[in-house]
């Protein structure tokens, strides 16, 4: 029963950790794995003890994560084109005059329009 619970927990955590990552997070994770493995190897060989391998692995993982995250190239900038030209509508045609008249100064004016 205990093995099944541990296996289910391991599978659930693997499923959660395999979600959507950014390239920066992927590079940091890859750097941490490579740095941890290299640090553990060097620490174990240099000290000859398991404690040296643990310290080397921890320091290598931290350094690898930092370097991997910092080495991620920046995404390309998004360049938008020019905005579309504004929509300009033609003015409506002048209304047709049904009846003309004259004002006080003798100018011809429209007294009544068609349809009004």
Q: What is the model's pLDDT at position 23? A: 82
Tell me if 98 is assigned to some domain. no
Q: Round to whole Å and give the CA distance between 104 and 102.
A: 7
Tell me if 100 is assigned to some domain. no
Q: Domain range for residue 66? A: 21-73
Q: Round to whole Å and give the CA distance between 5 and 22.
A: 30
Number of domains the chain is built from: 1
Q: Does the global pTM surpass 0.75?
A: no
Q: What is the model's pLDDT at position 102? A: 93
Tell me if 83 is assigned to some domain. no
Which 8-state DSSP code applies to residue 101?
E
Tell me if 4 is assigned to some domain. no
Tell me if 53 is assigned to some domain. yes
Cβ proximity of 88 and 80 under 8 Å: no
Torsion sign (Cα): 25, 30, 31, 37: positive
Confidence of residue 101 (pLDDT cuts 50, 70, 90): very high
Token representation of residue 26: 């992927």
DSSP letter for each residue of 38-90: HHHHHHHHHH-SHHHHHHHHHHHHHHHHHHHHHTPPPPPPP---PPPPPP-PP
Cβ proximity of 39 and 61 under 8 Å: yes
Q: Round to whole Å and give the CA distance between 17 and 24.
A: 15
Dump pLDDT digits (tens) for 46-99.
Answer: 988 888 898 999 999 999 989 988 988 888 888 889 999 999 998 887 788 889
Q: Round to whole Å and give the CA distance between 28 and 26.
A: 5
Place of tokens 């004016």: 109
């Amino acid at each position: 029963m205990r093995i099944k619970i541990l296996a289910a927990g391991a599978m659930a955590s693997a499923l959660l950790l395999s979600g959507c990552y950014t390239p920066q997070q992927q590079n940091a994770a890859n750097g941490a794995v490579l740095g941890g493995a290299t640090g553990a190897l060097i620490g174990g060989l240099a000290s000859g003890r398991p404690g040296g391998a643990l310290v080397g692995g921890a320091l290598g993982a931290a350094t690898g994560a930092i370097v991997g995250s910092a080495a991620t190239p920046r995404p390309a900038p998004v360049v938008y084109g020019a905005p579309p030209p504004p929509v300009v509508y033609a003015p409506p045609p002048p209304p047709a005059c049904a009846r003309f008249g004259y004002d006080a100064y003798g100018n011809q004016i429209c007294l009544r329009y068609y349809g009004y």
